[in-house]
Chains A and B, each alone.
Chain A
Amino acid sequence: MPITPVVAEGLRRTFAGVDVLAGVDLVVEGGECVALLGANGAGKTTLLRVLATLLRPSAGRLRLFGEDAALRPAAVLRKIGYVGHESSCYGDLTATENLDFFAELYGLGDARRRVAELVEWTGLGVAARRPVRTFSRGMTQRLALARALLHRPELLLLDEPFNGLDPHATAMLEALLAELRRAGHAIVLSTHDVPRAAALATRIVMLHRGRIDWDGVAGESAGVAIAARFDTLMTRRV
């Protein structure tokens, strides 16, 4: 029986006395693509960073692939791919050098082939041999995605992954996420793009002031209802 990638119970996270996450319960199964929607400051980024084990929850329990996330076991970290607001790539290294570096840290056996495969996927071409600091926002984002995919993670955590991507790269990422989901990978992504979330995800989770306000099935047919619900949520923030 497959192990559930994410089981979060009562996750809280406080910054300077403010509850950014105020008790989140979330279960994500393999093959699910969960889109997190919410206004700025709703807690999407904090939730993703907690799920990635980059932030310790102030309270609550988080189990990733059946293991206690607080212990950050290496076997669990190997299964997580995370893209945040920044690329986590070194500006003075080339794209290829960045990927080689992380491939070595992950101890990938087929590092050279995997890096070549992902450089091709990013479409960076000869630019992959240029320092990353010379890249545009979109190129950097494609590299960040490649870095997160390098070790073939079973759980992908993506914070606004479509930001800065051109239409071609967006289509490529959508196709890849659909393929990964069909292969049984779990995906949690945050976005402000409601129609895209409804079309791409299998489930929508709306956050409001650090709590889950709505959790429902996504899909093109549910798009209108989700948009209406999201509009209601946005008016409530005032």
Chain B
Amino acid sequence: MHAALIILRKDLRIEWRTRESVSSLVTLGILLLVVFTVAHDPTPEEAVRLAPSVLWATFVFTGLLGVQRSFLLERDQDCLAGLLLAPIDPAAIYVGKLLANLVLLGTMQAIVVPLVALLLHVDFSAVLPGLLVVLSMGNLGFAASATLFAAIAVRTRAREVLLPLLLLPLSLPVLIAGVKATQAVLAGGLAAAGDALGVLGAFDVIFTVAGWLLFTYVVQD
């Protein structure tokens, strides 16, 4: 775990210095939000129904970009070789990258969620704790699978195409469950989102454990 934290700190330091990922993610997020909201121009009733799908579609597309960038960092100058040669469990690299991706997704959401509230005139303040639970669980499931598949895709020539092709179909359960859980939270609170949270929880466990176990085989040629 110590090695994972060292890798997390390194990634955050690089991001803090360059702000490349956060700036491109936020720009893409705002663009998607504007397109979704302007295209629909929803009534107040429709806005509450529309908000969950707008939120999650934005998270998935921006998240995809962010996770891909995090592994390009390791590909550049063959930095991954430097990590693999260190006397650490390769799973620690996975955990470090996963934590860095979670921080990135969380930062992006901290900007996007208030913007959705603003553009769609939806009040999230009353359901914020429940919404945070749903977003955190969705983030973990998405980041766990995306980190694993980004490690696979980055070693191929068609990496820009391969990651969405691998990840988007597998992320559908987390996307659907995320939308349903958010709808339930907006309508009646966290208790109403039980089934969807169950799916998110299962997805979190399956992909975190799979990533932990498989990463060693994925990153070694």
Contacts and interface: CB of A to CB of B under 8 A. Distances in A.
B221 A105 contact: no
Nearest to A97: B13
Interface of B: 3, 6-7, 10, 13-14, 17-18, 73, 76-79, 81-88, 220-221
A88 B14 contact: no
Given A74-B87, A75-B87, A104-B6, A88 B82 contact: yes
Given A84-B78, A105-B6, A90 B87 contact: no
> Counting chain B CB atoms within 10 Å of each CB, which of A53, A82, A90 scores highest?
A90
A55 B87 CA distance: 16
Given A75-B87, A92-B17, A105-B7, 5 more contacts: A52-B85, A74-B87, A86-B78, A88-B79, A90-B73
A121 to B, nearest CB: 19
Interface in A43-99: 49, 52-56, 74-75, 77-78, 80, 82, 84-93, 97
Q: Which 5 A-B pairs have the closest CB atoms?
A: A88-B82, A74-B87, A86-B78, A105-B86, A77-B87
B85 A93 contact: no
Contact of B87 (A78, A84, A93, A131): A78
B221 A56 contact: yes
Contact of B14 (A56, A80, A90): A90
B221 A88 contact: no
B86 A77 contact: yes
Nearest to A140: B77
Interface residues of A, number: 31
A208 interface: no
A12 to B, nearest CB: 14
Contacts of B79: 88-90
Contacts of A90: 10, 14, 73, 77, 79
A80 B81 CA distance: 12
A105 B88 contact: yes
A105 B80 CA distance: 13
A214 interface: no
Nearest to A85: B78
Nearest to A46: B221
B9 to A, nearest CB: 8
> Counting chain A CB atoms within 10 Å of each CB, which of B14, B79, B87, B221 scores highest?
B87
A56 B84 CA distance: 13
Contact of B10 (A75, A77, A82, A101): A101
Contact of B81 (A56, A88, A91, A104): A88
Contacts of B84: 53-54
